[in-house]
Amino acid sequence: MRNFAAIYSKEMRSYFVSPVAYVIAGVFLFLSGYLFRNILMQFNLWCLQFGQRAQQMGGQMPALNLNEMVVTQFFGVMDFIWLLVIPMLTMRLFAEEKKNGTIELLMTSPIRTVEVMLGKFFACFSLYSIIVGLTLVYFVILEAYGSPDWGPIFTGYMGYLFLGATFISVGILASALTENQIVAVLLTFGMLLLFWLIDWSASFAGPTAAKILHYLSFIEHLEDFQRGVIDSKDVIFYLSFTFFCLFLTTRVIESRRWRR
């Protein structure tokens, strides 16, 4: 536990001592804030248009669902932004150690590989959670001017924690495979994009293959969370995928130790 805490603290310091955490958080919050503002303005425009039509026809304005038209749309664009941002969060975790030669110190130290891997994983996941948590400000603003249903909002954020853990585990695996951070970014983005679009291939596959491809889709398992539903199959999928990638990362690092 002490070794894990040491690795975790080191990684957290490296994020916040350098401008990496601030730049990534700033870029993400700017993009997400800009998109949230546009979605909210579009919703306001729809309200005005429906209101004008209702007055012209002498009827009552139909009720517009704030969650479906604002919250769900915002979540839909936010997961795409993370698809682009998380590779930059994870690219340095092992690739930088290899490039600087410090991986040799880790391999010869009395620290277990799993402690190193988990320390790096949870440090990255903590930074991710902090950035995601900051976006709650948008919904506090939304609450001040509307009446959103907070149930789907909270479950949506829960889904993003699971999705983030899965994305990060893929990024750590990619970083462990190379010493070049640019290559790590491209590998991570390529693998995440593959599982992002894999559901598309289900339309051209047979019944059995379609079910498998559909199940492997990252976004498919996020939709229930965004609707306010917590399904055990979605939780199990994200956790099992995360554990599998972390296991592969441990094997990759261990193979380097055995080669020594």
pLDDT value, residue 63: 56
Position 180 pLDDT exceeds 60:
yes
Say what the pLDDT of residue 48 is: 67
CA pair distance 182, 180, nearest whole angstrom: 6
What is the C-alpha to C-alpha distance for residues 237 and 212, in angstroms, rounded to an integer? 12
243 close to 172: Cβ distance less than 8 angstroms: no
Predicted local distance difference test score (pLDDT) of residue 56 = 58
> What is the tally of structural domains in the chain?
1
Which range marks the domain in which residue 34 is found? Answer: 2-259
Query: Which amino acid would we find at residue 115?
Result: E
The DSSP call for residue 110 is: S
pTM value is: 0.89
Q: What is the pLDDT of residue 239?
A: 95
- Nearest by Cα to 11 from 120, 90, 127: 120
Which residue from 180, 7, 164, 18 is spatially nearest to 91, judged by alpha carbons? 180
How far, rounded to the nearest angstrom, does the alpha carbon of residue 246 sit from its chain's CA centroid? Answer: 16
